[in-house]
Structures are given as C-alpha cells and as structure tokens.
Amino acid sequence: MKKVSTLLLTAAGAIAAIMATPAAAAPKAVLTHETLWMMKRVGAPVVSPDGKWVVYSLNEPNYEADKAMTDLWLVPVDGSAAPRRLTSSKAGESGPAWAPDSRRIAFSAKREGDDDAQIYILDLAGGEAQRVTSLPFAVSAPQWRPDGKAILFEAMAWPGAMDAEANKKAAAEKKARKFNMRVYEHFPIRYWNDWIDERRPTLWVQSLEPGAKAVDILSSTKLGQTEGFGGNAQSDGGNTLNPVWSPDGKEIVFTATTQRWQAARARVNFNLYRMPATGGEPKLATPTEGEYGDLKFSPDGKSLLFKFNTQGNEIYDLARLNRVAWPAGGAATVLTPGFDREIDQYAVTPDSSTIYAIVPDAGAENLYSLPAAGGTPAVVIAPKVGGYTSLDIPSDAASTILVGSYGSAVNPAEIVRIDPVAKRHANLTNVNTALAASIDWSSPEHFWFTAKDGLKIHNMIVTPPNFDPKKKYPLFVLIHGGPASTNPDQIGLRWNYHLLASAGYVVLLTDYKGSTGYGEAFSRAINLDPLRGPANEIDEAVDEAARLYPFIDVKNACAGGASYGGHLTNWIEATTTRYKCLVSHAGEVDLLTQWGTSDFAYGRELSSGGAPWGDSKIWRDQSPISYGDQWKTPMLLTAGEKDYRVPLPNTLETWVTLQRQQVPSRLLIFPDAWHWITKPEDSRQFYREVQGWLAHYLKGAPAVTGGPIPAPEAKKGE
C-alpha cells in the first residue's frame, strides 16, 4: 500500500507539474482589414452632472451597412459595475445629453416611424425612450435648460419659413418641381461632400410641458434673415451654431457668421452672439470679431469660456482659450496668452477654479491644467504612449472628477477615469482591450532631427509584425494631410500605420512644417512655401531614418498620402526619382485647378502669395504639373467622386499627365466616396489595391493589371 501510494503521489505530482507548466503563448495575429474595421468604436464620454454615471455611444461596425449599430451605453464613474446597453435600434443614437437631475438622457435618433431624426428622452428609472419632437426635418444636438423643463436643439430651415409647417411646405414645393436644377449667386456652393442648398441653421426650444410645440427662436430675427448668415459648415451638409444655455436659462449664446458669401475673397468670421431664450434679436456678446468656438460656462455661472482666433491674413492662427465675464459681457481676457499650443478639449472643475485641457504636443495628446483666471498651462499627465482624445468634468459633483478617452496606435480608445493627483487613469471600458492584446503590433518609435531650414522635425516609425532588427525591410513613407494636422499616436482607418506595415514594411511618418502641435510659427512656416519646403523635410527624414535604423532598406522605398499628403506625393513625383512607386489619394496637381474647383479657395491665395493673376510665381513654381516632363515614378491614383474639397479634376489632371508621359499608372475612382473612403467594402478594396501596388514594386510580386484585385481565397478551416 505504501508503495502504491508513493506511485500515486509521484504520478499526481507529475500531473500537477504538467498542469502548472505555463502553456506556450498563442502566437499574436497580424492585423487585417477585417480585424481593424470590425473593432468597436467608443464615442466620447458624457458624465452626469452628479458625477456618478457616464453615457457614451458605441459603434459596432459591419461590412453590411444595415447591420452596423450605434447605441448608447452606461457605466458608473467609480467602475463598480460593467457597462450596460441603454438603447438598441437600427438607426442608432447620437448627441446624448444629461438632464440636470442626472436621471434622464436626451439624444437624437431616427427610429421606426420617423422620417428624420428627432429628439428622444430616456428615463434611467426604466421604460422606453419617449419622442419629444415631431418635426418635418432632422434635428440634432439636444441641450437641457438648466431647470430641466425645456430642450434646445439645432435644425436647418428653409428661407422665410418661420415654423415647422412653413418648412414642411417649402420642402414639398421644392420636391414638386418638374425640373432639377441648382441656382447659386454666391460662393461657396459645395462643402466636403455636399452641395449647399438654401437652408439656414436655426435654433429651436422644445418645452417639456404636455402638448407644447417646438419654437424656432432664430429664423424671424434680422440676424437669421441676414444675407450671408450661417454657422460652421459640417460634412453632412448642415451647419452648427454651437449653442449653449446661459446659467439662468434666460439666454442662448451661440456663434454665427454674416459673411458666408465672402469666403471666395476673405477669411470668414464666426462671431459670438447672445439672445433671449424666448426669442428676440441677437446681439454681439463681445466686441471683437474673429472665430469663436467651443463655448462653455463655468459652473459658478460667472464666466463664459471659449476658444478664439483673430482670423487674420495668415494661413494659420492659433486658437487661444478666452474668458468673458457673465452676464456683463464685454471684452474678453485671453487665459493662455503665452502658451504656444492649441487647446483641443477643455473642462472646468465644479468649484470653477481650474481648467483641465487636452493639448496636442509633438504628436501626443497630453493633459494640462491652468487656473480658471488664466496663467501658464502645466502638464498634468504626458503618456509615454498614445494620449487623451476627449475630456469631461461633471459640474455638480462634490469633488473634481475627470473622465475622458484614452487610446494609442495599438490601443483603440476606451473610456477612462483620470486621476490628476496620482497622474494615471483607469479604464471604465475594455471594449477592445483583449483584441488589441492579441495583435502583433508595436507602438511607434519617435525620433527628431534638425532640417536644413533650421526647423526641428518630429518623426515616427512603425515596424512590421514578426519584426527582426537584423533584417532589411522596404520602406513606405506615409505623408499626413492637412497641412494643419499631425501624425498622432492613435488608430486610424484611412491610412492605418500597422495595416500598411502588416505586409512587411517599415512605415515612416514625418510632421513636416505646417503641422500642428509644434507652435504657431511652425504651422505658419508653410506660408509661401506650400509644397517644396515640406517635401524637402520629408526627403531629409528618409535619410535620417536610414541613418538611425539599419533595418530600413532605403533604396527600396515607396511613398504616398491623401489630401495634402496627396499634394506632396504629386510634388515628389515631379521632383525626385528616389522612390520605386507612389500612391496618391485626393491630391492636387495644379494650384490653380485646386483654387478654382475646391470648396476652399481663399486659403489657397494666402499660402500662394495672392490671387492667381497677381505677381506671385508660386502658382506655377509649386504646381507639380509644371514639371510634368520630369514625371517617371509609377503611381497609383485614387479618388472619391463626391470629393469637393479636392475635386476629381485634380486627380484626372494627374492621370492625364502620367498617361501622357507613359508613366506606369493605375486609376481607381470610388463613385460613392468623398474625401474619405468610408464604405467598408470600398475601404477593404482600397487597401487591397494599395498593398498589391506596393508588393509589385517593393517585393517583385506580379504587376497589378486589369480589373479590381480579387479578394484572397479563404484558407481551409476559415
């Protein structure tokens, strides 16, 4: 028995030892378009006034558009429970806003039976969301009156239509026309992907008293009927006036322009207005004209805060945080006069003493704080990887609570609670955490160099999966658009760093002059040097990357980009032969063509030294088509047919020049796309084509010819 027991114990010990041995880690997966596209996308958090709850939207994508969903979810701020779904509808919800009592949420949605999106209210105590508006047009951006008895929202109205019935009649008359024609007498006529129609932005107030009807408080005013009145244009064809309630609920403050039709010849101001919430003529809230935005009242009701720039004759003006006394109004005080960075998002603490802000800085999105009375912002948290992309602070909480979104190029954004004292954050959601951990990707590596023009240039490189620093890898130089933009350490869909690298390439990203996050002078440095200067810095960045990283095969490189990145790609085509191939999406080739066809004209004059018929030589000197006889590098061209920012004629001119010069080239037109390729199957095919083009020129794969590249055959077992 003793011997048997020993054997049993030995066997048991062996089994236990085997069980205790860690299993080999599962190999990490290479990022695919399917994995990237199907990642759930977490919207910006909105914290309840009492600081107990966070509501956010969650988009669940699908390659079949009618199966994609966007619903509202709820999670406790203290993280004591898992998030739970609040809504479930095919059309989805947007613009969630908390009632002052922290018990109800308003949002806009187009639900069953709705012709257009309407305002709904959901009571957290239970029950279905109740529709509170029934208007014959779409409405958006609900905001509760401070007493919780009415809701402010925005809509687009037809000229002369002062109420819902008049708008319904005007829309019906337009639809009943026997002809189809657009008539214009002013510029602009298009914006991003929409033709501009006669409608104007309006403000409506819906009382929550039983039987009450929504009231348009703006259309009947002189301001609302002024020629050239409008709001900040949006990519869905509408306008926004950025309205907010005054602390006592008696006034509405908003931004608007009366210079809309001057956009072809001047910068357009969006001034700050205030008006009675029951209707009445709006008046300027501050005497200084410029561009106002992102309006917020301090919780104590004594200050109105906003971002402002002077809209001068520079290609770029830094928007600075300002404050004006309330309700007195008058001249504003600049809160960040010596701070050479743009404030992105900001929020005020419940005691109105401190402002926290997200600040783009050298490719990062850091958390800063400053006294509400003004002063030099100080860094609170500067994440080593990624950064913060949204921020909210509840106004009525007993203590300061910061909630935001945090993400990186290898971590899709999640909702987090931020501790500014401990300088860390904790996740409230983990929507994609496990998925992100299963992918073979690494955070971008940063490096700097001083360019020949004296500017310090920030860069990132992204390495491929299964990376071995002892090997040599082809290089893809990805050029960001803008130019007033940056290469963020964040996940993107249009040009995903890791999806491009997944085929075995190192990706180089350079923040050339004109980029944001490096100060006003750096962003303005592109003025009168729109293409040559930035392209030279990109060229120097390639040399510096090759010097620093021996694994880069600099003689085996391609380059590409979209929008301004496409402009620079076309300039590279005209000025160098160092690349084996190029990829240009929505790129201009002739500054004059872009000026005359785009929805953005005057800004081109600012960067080019005046009107095309003036003395400036930049119009020809920095147009890639001027050097068409030098084009030699094979190019893949892509464009959205509904792109009105860089309209199709730009791409067609590039195409004709390539064909005229017998340069190997391939043209892809996406009829349903605009400046971005947003349809999932179009996006998947775009990446197939790009990877096929790169594989041919960087790896010697068969040439891409004929029709669309077919989808790869599924492996057995898939």
Does residue 58 surpass a pLDDT of 50?
Answer: yes
> Which tokens sit at 107?
């949002």
The ranges assigned to domains in the chain are 33-176+184-330, 440-699
DSSP E strands, 576-623: 581-585
> Which tokens sit at 400?
């300061």
CATH class of 33-176+184-330: mainly beta
The closest of 147, 149, 169 to 158, measured between CA atoms, is 169
- Model confidence at 715, pLDDT cuts 50, 70, 90, reads low
* Residue 3: predicted pLDDT: 37
Distance CA 579, CA 174 (A): 53
* Residue 18: predicted pLDDT: 34
Give 80-90 pLDDT, tens digit per residue: 999 999 998 87
> Among the listed ranges 13-22, 147-156, 512-521, 700-709, which one has the minimum average pLDDT value?
13-22
Question: Would you tell me how many other CB atoms lie within 10 Å of the CB of residue 188?
Answer: 19
8 Å CB contact between 231 and 265? no
> Which tokens sit at 642?
């509904």
* Residue 441: predicted pLDDT: 97
Examine domains 33-176+184-330 and 440-699 and report if their fold is the same: no
3-state SS, residue 226: coil
CATH class of 440-699: alpha beta
- Model confidence at 185, pLDDT cuts 50, 70, 90, reads very high
DSSP 241-292: ---EE-TTSSEEEEEEBS-GGGTTTSPPPBEEEEEETT----EESSS--SEE
Give 595-605 pLDDT, tens digit per residue: 999 998 898 99
Does residue 475 surpass a pLDDT of 80?
Answer: yes
Please state whether 120 falls in left (phi above 0), alpha (psi between -120 and 50) or beta.
Answer: beta
* Residue 160: predicted pLDDT: 85
DSSP E strands, 420-472: 424-427, 445-450, 456-462
Question: Would you tell me how many other CB atoms lie within 10 Å of the CB of residue 328?
Answer: 7
Element (H, E) at 683: helix 680-699
Residue that wins the pLDDT comparison between 372 and 3: 372
Q: DSSP secondary-structure letter at 498?
A: H
> Among the listed ranges 12-26, 130-144, 455-469, 553-567, which one has the minimum average pLDDT value?
12-26
Q: DSSP secondary-structure letter at 398?
A: S
- Model confidence at 314, pLDDT cuts 50, 70, 90, reads confident
Distance CA 290, CA 275 (A): 19
Q: Annotate 660-679 with b (16+ C-beta within 10 A) or e (fewer).
A: eeebbbbebebeebbbbbeb
* Residue 235: predicted pLDDT: 58
Give 623-677 pLDDT, tens digit per residue: 999 999 999 999 999 999 999 999 999 999 999 999 999 999 999 999 999 999 9
8 Å CB contact between 538 and 560? no
* Residue 237: predicted pLDDT: 62
Q: DSSP secondary-structure letter at 597?
A: H
Decide the pairing of beta strands 320-325 and 333-334: antiparallel
* Residue 313: predicted pLDDT: 76
> Among the listed ranges 16-20, 111-115, 487-491, 662-666, which one has the minimum average pLDDT value?
16-20
Does residue 211 surpass a pLDDT of 90?
Answer: yes
Q: What is the pTM of this model?
A: 0.93
Single-letter code of the amino acid located at 245: W
- Model confidence at 382, pLDDT cuts 50, 70, 90, reads very high
* Residue 112: predicted pLDDT: 86
Handedness of CA 381, 383, 387, 388 (dihedral sign): negative
> Which tokens sit at 43?
């919207």
